[in-house]
Structure formats: structure tokens, C-alpha cells
Amino acid sequence: EVTVAYRNEELQSALKKKGYTVADNSHHLTGNAVDLAPTKGKTLDELAKAAKALVDSGVAKKYIVYPPKGGTTGHVHITMAGV
């Protein structure tokens, strides 16, 4: 499930005000990153393996796994290749 892809400066600022850690130079601001959460019946580990396959194939540049926190399922951040 896509939880966030492109976000504008307004949303970026709102997330900061809510206490989220967001990078000033986030690739989300240019539409070159996506955050994914596991869908029903899938695990964060399965999603991380899929993200690794994207990196290994050259489609993505890197991925970061964020573990569950505060009742969330956790998510995987993927930065696309060419960035």
C-alpha cells in the first residue's frame, strides 16, 4: 500500500509540525521516493525483500525499512534510481 509518494512543501511542513522526522531535501518533494506499508496478509519483511529486488535490478537506488512504531505496521521507503 502506498502511504506517501510526492508531497509538496505544505505537507512537508505539516508533517514536521506534527513531530515527524522529514528530511529538508526529501526525495518525496520531487516525486522520486515512495513509502509503502504491507498490505493485508503480507509482512514488512516481504515488502523489504521486494524493495531489495528493485535495488538489485537497478530500478531503485536505495531502500530503508522503518519498523513498526506507535501502532503502525512499519513501512519501507524507496528512492528511485537516477536520483
pTM to 2 decimal places: 0.87
- For the four alpha carbons of 83, 23, 12 and 73, in that order, the dihedral sign comes to positive
pLDDT one-digit tens code per residue, 30-81:
999 999 999 999 999 999 999 999 999 999 999 999 999 888 889 999 999 9
Of 75, 68, 6, nearest in space to 38 by CA: 75
Distance between CA atoms of 52 and 40, rounded to whole angstroms? 20
How far apart, in Å, are the Cα atoms of 24 and each of 16, 20, 82, 83? 10, 12, 19, 16
**For residue 16, how many C-alpha atoms fall within 13 Å in the half-sphere facing its CB?**
11
**Whether the Cβ atoms of residue 74 and residue 44 lie closer than 8 Å to each other:** yes
pLDDT of residue 83: 66
Distance between CA atoms of 27 and 39, rounded to whole angstroms? 23
